[in-house]
């Protein structure tokens, strides 16, 4: 399996920028997908193939991926962004791998 | 827009078989990558297995206990997990995967079904 490491929690004030990291060996060579999961709800795809956004996802969501770290950046954070965020990688050797999830708290 | 809905018992006894069905609406069930995933309380997501192009593939850690099948006429796919223990207590999700040139991601999810393993 392929290990992905996320911080358990990140806190920001409304209007600030949140950065949620996902660490993995040579993750920069892989395609990373991100999901938002509000309490009691199913995961929702917010970014795929590193930097593509599904329709309906605000441009405030962006990503970067290089070396051993991928990052989901949420600009101008709103209260509605409060949720758990999961990173996801698939490759032919390891199959599907998920990070442990990061709880974003909007103070 | 595709919608997925899990159904099945919410309580299973230890050593018995967990059985869930996912019903797909709003799109064809053919030609897609259908998966089951689960999430234990306070833990991350775990991929269980998939049905794609007539074949199944499972998480190696669960492979000996898992089976999946598809009924295209009913637009349903199912999960069976045998010899369950308390460690299998989780919210189980069905999801549709999109297969690209270099990766696979899940663009649609069911609402999830909490399954508790307890006597």
Summarised one tens digit per residue, pLDDT across range B30-77 is: 889 999 999 998 778 999 999 998 899 999 999 999 999 999 999 999
**What pLDDT shows up at residue B109?**
98
Q: Chain centroid to CA B108: how far?
A: 13
Report d(CA B96, CA B84) in Å as an integer.
25
Phi/psi of residue B47, each to 5°? Answer: -80, 135
Asked if B109 lies within 8 A of A44 by C-beta distance, the reply is: yes
Size of interface A-B (CB pairs under 8 A): 57
Q: State chain B's mean pLDDT as an integer.
A: 95
Chain B contact set for A88 (CB, 8 A) = 45, 105-106
Contact status, residue A10 vs residue A20, Cβ threshold 8 Å: yes
Chain B contact set for A9 (CB, 8 A) = none
Contact status, residue B113 vs residue B20, Cβ threshold 8 Å: yes
Average pLDDT on A18-34 reads 97
Output the six-digit token pair for A6: 């996320």
Torsion of CA A21, A26, A32, A34, to 10 degrees: -20
What does the pLDDT look like over B72-115, one tens digit per residue?
Answer: 999 999 999 999 999 999 999 999 999 998 999 999 999 999 99
Q: What pLDDT band is residue A35 in, cutting at 50, 70 and 90?
A: very high
């Amino acid at each position: 399996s392929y290990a992905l490491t996320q911080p358990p929690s990140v806190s920001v004030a409304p209007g600030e920028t949140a950065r949620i990291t996902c660490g993995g060996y040579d993750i920069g060579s892989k395609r990373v997908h991100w999901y938002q999961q509000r309490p009691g709800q199913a995961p929702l795809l917010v970014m795929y193939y590193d930097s593509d956004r599904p329709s309906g996802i605000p441009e405030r969501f962006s990503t970067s991926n290089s070396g051993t770290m991928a990052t989901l950046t949420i600009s101008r954070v709103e209260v509605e962004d409060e949720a758990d965020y999961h990173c996801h990688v698939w490759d032919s050797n390891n199959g599907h791998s998920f990070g442990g999830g990061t709880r974003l708290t909007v103070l | 827009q595709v919608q997925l809905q899990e159904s099945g018992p919410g309580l299973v006894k230890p050593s018995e078989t967990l059985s869930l069905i996912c019903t797909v609406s709003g799109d064809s069930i053919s030609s897609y990558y259908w998966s089951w995933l689960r999430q234990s309380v306070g833990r991350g997501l775990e991929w269980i297995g998939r049905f794609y192009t007539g074949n199944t593939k499972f998480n190696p850690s669960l492979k000996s206990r898992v089976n999946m099948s598809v009924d295209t006429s009913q637009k349903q796919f199912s999960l069976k997990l045998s010899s369950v223990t308390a460690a299998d207590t989780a919210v189980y999700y069905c999801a549709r995967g999109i297969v690209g040139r270099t990766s696979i991601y899940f663009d649609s999810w069911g609402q999830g079904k909490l399954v508790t393993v307890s006597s």
